[in-house]
Chain A
Amino acid sequence: MKWLTNLTPEQEYFLNPDALSQTQLWILGLMGQICEMNELRHDVFHNLGTSDQSRQNIAHMMKRDWGIESREDCLSMLEWLRTEGHNAGYMPQQKHFEGLSEAAIDAYIEAHDHDTDEQIRLKLVKAYRHTLQVGGIGAWDFARFITVSRWTTSLGLLSEEEAWEKMLDIAQRAQKSFDSWYSYGLSYIAGRQYWRKTLSEDFAKESTEVIKGLTGSPHSPWNSLPWDLDLSAS
């Protein structure tokens, strides 16, 4: 990430300006790829700002992308992400494939040639079914849970305290479902591919650049925080 590379010691002083704990930084790190994509800071809670203009932009974005206009909308969206999300669609397909032979999987995908979108999703499941056996595309939902919690808190729809409480619960689940930032990162991108219904090579290359942003900077959460950090420590 551009703002985080090659810092002088003085500049480094301003890293983590809100003095967040390691656990809090780890939790925010779950939306690391979203921050990289949008060139946002990893280490401040309100990373879209809290000015009136910022709030107006967040409000527009929340309405446009999430249909969130009130606290109720927000809570219901978070609940959906926590209990279902897109992983609820992915996992049954993956489970179905586990019971099929390789030839049957190909035949099943072939039989969906009338529905291109579904066929794309099935091809993604086919490609990732061994690696994402346990967590599926859960990281895609977890990261968006953190995003919605963080930005709706900037809007005042959640208090910071309740946002941290909710996010910690998700973080603990994420930590159990994956074994490294890399496997979490794969699950996130696979989820994004699944949602976008894309098998594009360009999309994969662009996503790899985002990953490089996280692996290339010593200050990124992937390099500065261990995946197995004890999250019970406040």
Chain B
Amino acid sequence: MTCWDIIGISPTVDKKAIKRAYASKLKKHRPDEDPEGFKQLRLAYEEALEEAKFYHPTQEQSPPQPSPVPAAENTTAQAAPHTQREIIDSDRVSCEQAVTELQQAVVELYEDFNARIQLGNWQAIFDQSKTWDMEVLQHIALGLLQFIGRNPFIPSEVISYLENQFAWEENHSWLQQYFEEDFLRYVLNRVIVCRWGLSYRDIRFPENSDLETVETYLRQRELLTYLLDAPEDDERDALLSALQGHNVQDPELYRLLSSLYLNEGDIARALQYSEQLNNTFSGNIDGHLRSANLYYRQGYFSAACSAYESALAVDEEHPLALKGLAACYLQRYDLFASKHLYEQALVQVPFDMEARIQLVQINQKIIQQGLEHLEKHPKDTREQRYVAEGYLETGAYHEAIQFLLPLTKSGFFSKADRDGEFHYLLGLAYEAIDQPEAAENAFNRSLNLAVMSGGNGYEALVKLGETAHANSKFKWAEKMLLQARHFNPESSKVLRLLAGSQFGLEKIDEALENINHAIRINSEEHHSYTIRAIIFMATENYAAEAADLKQVLEYCPTCCRHWHKLGLCLLKLQQPDEAMTAFENATLYNTARQDSALQWIQLALGTGNRDRAQLALEALERAEADPAQITIFKETIERMSSEVANEPNA
């Protein structure tokens, strides 16, 4: 079994893809639950990262074959048995009879709690409502709404189903003819809020509970939700004692009681109820998460750890449970396990800053641990790599350089950097402190070492391409990036840089093809829209350019350069008002922008807009434009004012 088989992806140079695959497999092999599996996975992961450096896609590889199309299933043979309750048959019974029978069916269904919470039972009654006679339909829509108003304890999926069948919300004005506004508002509001209301699943009533007992309990349970917001309610104690007197086993009740006591600062009782929830309904994630959070806050990290693990057993990708467990491992100083879990959480929620900040902290600790280890084992290249990466990940770039320089000098420790990885890290550190030449040298050396050792040098290629692109050395950039694309054709970054370089070489069609591909791969990368806007500008496709610039500005609304460009583009599209706004925004975010202020005032004067011209003049003054020019504009505006004043109707 190869490392790729173990982490479950095809060979690639894309480290992100490897990390994602690793994070995904990690769910099944947690370090504490399956240490052997974890070890094997971890080795496979490191091996994959290593092999990625040497991966060369071969020409012989045949394109993926389409999966055989499965034969069409015999749907008629497997069709569900016809369960529709045939209540309505317009030819047979009168409207009145039909309505009466339907109402009776609903009442019977509601009276049996376990039947009422099954959506299928409601579907059996109402699935053919669309074919009903209009009169029957209207009667039932009205009757059912009234019924729900009086008997509201129905699961949200049933309510949603009924709303879908009878469209009460849409027919609000029609319903107003039949119901008091307050009642109508109450029921329709309930139709909406029940979607996130209390669940009816898994409630266990004592045997022989009658309808009244059930309804009383459910009503009191809802009242408890209001207590969460008004803990000092006079009825609190009576309500709690009544609810507990019913002896109902209900996950929502335990959860609500836990929340209530937590709000009141009674952590012990909050924990008691979350534990009761876990013990009675172990498949319910809410109790595990709540217990874990409470244990963690109390400093009981082992208990918190177990509770988070139980939560992950219910939902293996739950981000709060992943982060919580990672925090517990961090408390135990199990740095790598913690790091992996935070990385896994980031795969689930890429915007999560908690995981990102924790990773920075962990890297600080990894440096400390690594340096101690290196004192005893100074030639351990793996540990050296961890430390160097740690420095980069915490922003300690000067320390990274000081640490890496001896490792990258030939002779002493030269074996340490056989594949150029330390040179690559050194390049990153130089790049971060704005030393582009030193960075380029390091990346070049990294590439040479990688190639000499049979590797692909993919990451160094990307960096060299990026650096060359930034320095307008487009030919060299294209060469590097074409090689990089060969190794990873689906990297949006490579495609974007390649497009930028090809545009610099006036290879417009190729540039456009690559940038479109980059956007198809990652439509949220705003830099790609910037590049494409430039290409559209060059090809005089102003409408498309404006659309891309707006996309960029949505991400970066304070970027004056793009506002200015958008203004110019809108001018070409003969949209002077919108162009003025764009120029105005450019001056708003950069007061020194004379060119934007100048465009703005010229447009305002050209369109006879005196007020905006006055504002633009102020922007021009703030930008410290040529005083002679300012005077001319001032006079023009004054002239406009006096002309307006002298108009007969002014």
Contacts and interface: CB of A to CB of B under 8 A. Distances in A.
Given A105-B196, A182-B357, A193-B353, A99 B289 contact: no
A127 B396 contact: no
- 4 A-B pairs with least C-beta separation: A216-B395, A212-B395, A108-B196, A201-B350
A98 B349 contact: no
B197 interface: yes
13 contacts: A60-B591, A107-B195, A108-B195, A130-B323, A193-B351, A198-B351, A200-B524, A207-B356, A212-B394, A215-B360, A216-B395, A216-B397, A217-B395
Nearest to A212: B395
B192 A208 contact: no
Interface stretch (A149-157, A161-169, A184-192): A184-192
A39 B358 CA distance: 24
Given A104-B199, A111-B192, A208 B356 contact: yes
Given A102-B289, A200-B351, 8 more contacts: A104-B198, A111-B192, A130-B324, A131-B354, A186-B354, A205-B356, A208-B357, A211-B356
B319 interface: yes
Nearest to A53: B624
Interface stretch (B36-44, B203-211, B242-250, B252-260): B252-260
B555 interface: yes
A129 B324 CA distance: 12
A64 B588 contact: yes
Interface string A89-129: 00000000011111111011011000000000000100111
Contacts of B118: none
B398 interface: yes
A208 B229 CA distance: 36
A216 B393 CA distance: 9
A204 B354 contact: no
Contacts of A214: 395
B285 interface: yes
B398 A111 contact: no
Nearest to A57: B591
B357 A211 contact: yes
Nearest to B228: A99
B596 interface: no
Contacts of B622: 56, 60
A99 B360 contact: no
Interface residues of A, number: 50
A182 B433 contact: no
B225 interface: yes
Contacts of A215: 360, 364, 394-396
Interface residues of B, number: 53
Interface in B394-431: 394-398
Given A127-B354, A186-B353, A186-B357, A6 B398 contact: yes
Nearest to B285: A102
Given A2-B433, A215-B360, A203 B395 contact: no
A60 B592 CA distance: 11
Interface string B161-172: 000000000000
Interface of B: 156, 192, 195-199, 225, 228-229, 252, 255-256, 259, 262-263, 285-286, 289, 293, 297, 318-320, 323-324, 349-354, 356-358, 360-361, 364, 393-398, 433-434, 524-526, 555, 588, 591, 622
A5 interface: yes
B357 A127 contact: no
A189 B360 CA distance: 15
Contact of B525 (A57, A130, A202, A216): A202
A101 B555 contact: no
B230 to A, nearest CB: 12
Contacts of A193: 351, 353
Interface of B is mostly: helix
A199 B357 contact: no
Contacts of B357: 182, 185-186, 189, 208, 211
B327 to A, nearest CB: 9
A213 interface: yes
Say what secondary structure dominates the interface of chain A.
helix
Given A101-B199, A130-B324, A211-B357, A201 B351 contact: yes
A138 to B, nearest CB: 15
B259 A98 contact: yes
A5 B433 contact: yes
Contacts of A204: 350-353, 356
A228 to B, nearest CB: 17
Contacts of B199: 101, 103-104
Contacts of B297: 133
Contacts of A124: 351
B383 to A, nearest CB: 21
Contacts of A198: 351
A101 B252 contact: yes
Contacts of A103: 199
A99 B193 CA distance: 14
Nearest to A108: B196
Contacts of A110: 195
Interface in A32-75: 56-57, 60, 64
Contacts of A129: 320
A207 to B, nearest CB: 6
Given A56-B622, A130-B320, A202-B524, A100 B353 contact: no
Contacts of B591: 57, 60
A205 B235 CA distance: 50
Interface centre among A186, A207, A217 (most CB of B within 10 A): A186
Contacts of A99: 225, 228-229, 256, 259
B629 to A, nearest CB: 19
B7 to A, nearest CB: 22
B354 A128 contact: yes
Contacts of A2: 433-434
A135 B353 CA distance: 16
A217 B399 CA distance: 10
A128 B357 CA distance: 13
A107 to B, nearest CB: 4
A111 B395 CA distance: 41
- Most chain A beta carbons < 10 A, residue from B197, B293, B354, B364: B354
A182 B395 CA distance: 15
Contacts of B324: 130
Given A208-B360, A212-B360, A202 B555 contact: yes
B396 A216 contact: yes
A99 B289 CA distance: 13
Contacts of A107: 156, 195-196
A82 to B, nearest CB: 24
